[in-house]
């Protein structure tokens, strides 16, 4: 399969064609095939643009596109790449914000379409969370319009497709409503990925908001279960304001595959002598490449009692 070179001046690169029957019809056509959804992990999701050229070879062709994001998110939050046929490496395309605010645009370098062939251009798309995403839970989508240009001119081959941007769902499971002092309560954090985008690795984050209770780093213990060995080990807790922050490491990160769920098993122990009270858990997750940004969030509560 195919694509075009991105850089350099001079003769256009030859786009590699797939071995298929010659295209039917009498006009050049374009079919951009986005996946049903992208995630917000910053990792690329592949897609393709299929070009059917029933006529003579065409030189100086470019694949051009414009897509409309959401909530004022700009080009800096997106990557679009294609594979260089000469080196087999992926190269990033330059993306531009349209001056009138109608979207983000870009194009490949010129290439040549072979005569009477179907050519598949391999691309991939990545979304890095935008400035409003930390609080947006609804489904978002992009409308992706594409066309072919020849020597900069429109040649009548266009297409439009829509893909959803889906965020990571993060949930608590098994949290007890009450935990008696001197006992241990198991629970889990579950990461659900509805998109066609791999999240790897996702580092857990947990804040235990102790508020005005007498719970602190000396009388609360958090443990993590290794999913391979099933052994439990302590997760250090650090005081932060009116709460305790769990210090998870990258060794405790999970891989959340496309359209699947990953679970982090934990347990909380409190000392027998505590008075206790109502506390809350706040969780999120961090992708390694985007350390400063949490993927989704969730909150739950439990009450520590003496009896």
CA distance 295 to 293: 7
Mean pLDDT for 25-41 is: 89
Give SS3 for 234: strand
Mean pLDDT for 115-126 is: 92
CB-count burial class (<10 Å; 0-12, 13-18, 19+) for 176 = middle
Contacts of 56 (CB under 8 A, 6+ apart): 115
CA distance 121 to 132: 32
CA distance 284 to 299: 9
Domains in the chain (CATH in brackets) are 13-165 (2.60.40.2550), 169-305 (2.60.40.10)
- Dump pLDDT digits (tens) for 34-63: 999 988 888 889 999 999 999 999 989 999
Q: pLDDT value at position 293?
A: 62
Q: Considering the entire predicted model, what is its pTM?
A: 0.77
Q: How confident is the model at residue 29 (pLDDT cuts 50, 70, 90)?
A: very high
Proportion of the chain in helix, strand, coil states, percent, rounded to 5: 5, 55, 45
Tokens 């003496």 correspond to: 306
Phi and psi at 276, nearest 5°, equal: 85, -160
CA distance 204 to 264: 8
Rg (CA), the chain: 25
- Dump pLDDT digits (tens) for 223-241: 999 999 999 999 999 999 8
CB-count burial class (<10 Å; 0-12, 13-18, 19+) for 14 = middle
CA distance 108 to 122: 11
């Amino acid at each position: 399969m195919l694509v075009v070179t991105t850089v350099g001046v001079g003769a256009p690169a030859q786009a590699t064609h797939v071995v298929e029957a010659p295209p039917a019809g009498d006009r050049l056509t374009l079919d951009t095939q986005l996946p049903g959804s992208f995630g917000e992990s910053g990792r690329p999701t592949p897609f393709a643009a299929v070009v059917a050229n029933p006529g003579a070879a065409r030189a100086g062709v470019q694949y051009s596109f414009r897509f409309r994001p959401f909530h004022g998110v700009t080009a800096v939050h997106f990557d679009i790449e294609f594979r260089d046929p000469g080196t087999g490496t992926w190269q990033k395309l330059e993306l531009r914000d349209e001056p009138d605010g109608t979207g983000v645009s870009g194009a490949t370098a010129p290439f040549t379409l072979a005569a009477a062939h179907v050519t598949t251009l391999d691309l991939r798309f990545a979304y890095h969370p935008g400035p409003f995403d930390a609080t947006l839970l609804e489904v978002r989508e992009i409308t992706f319009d594409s066309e072919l240009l020849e020597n900069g001119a429109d040649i009548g081959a266009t297409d439009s497709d829509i893909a959803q941007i889906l965020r990571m769902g993060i949930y608590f499971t098994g949290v007890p409503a009450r935990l008696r002092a001197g006992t241990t309560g198991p629970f889990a954090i579950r990461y659900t990925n509805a998109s066609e985008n791999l999240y790897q690795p996702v580092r857990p984050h947990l804040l235990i908001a102790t508020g005005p209770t007498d719970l602190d780093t000396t009388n609360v213990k958090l443990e993590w279960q290794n999913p391979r060995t099933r052994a439990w080990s302590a997760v250090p807790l650090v005081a932060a304001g009116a709460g305790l922050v769990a210090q998870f490491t990258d060794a405790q990160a999970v891989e959340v595959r496309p359209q699947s769920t990953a679970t982090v098993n934990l347990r909380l122990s409190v000392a027998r002598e505590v008075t206790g009270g109502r506390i809350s858990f706040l969780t999120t997750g961090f992708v390694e490449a985007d350390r400063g940004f949490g993927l989704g969030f969730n909150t739950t509560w439990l009450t520590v009692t003496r009896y």
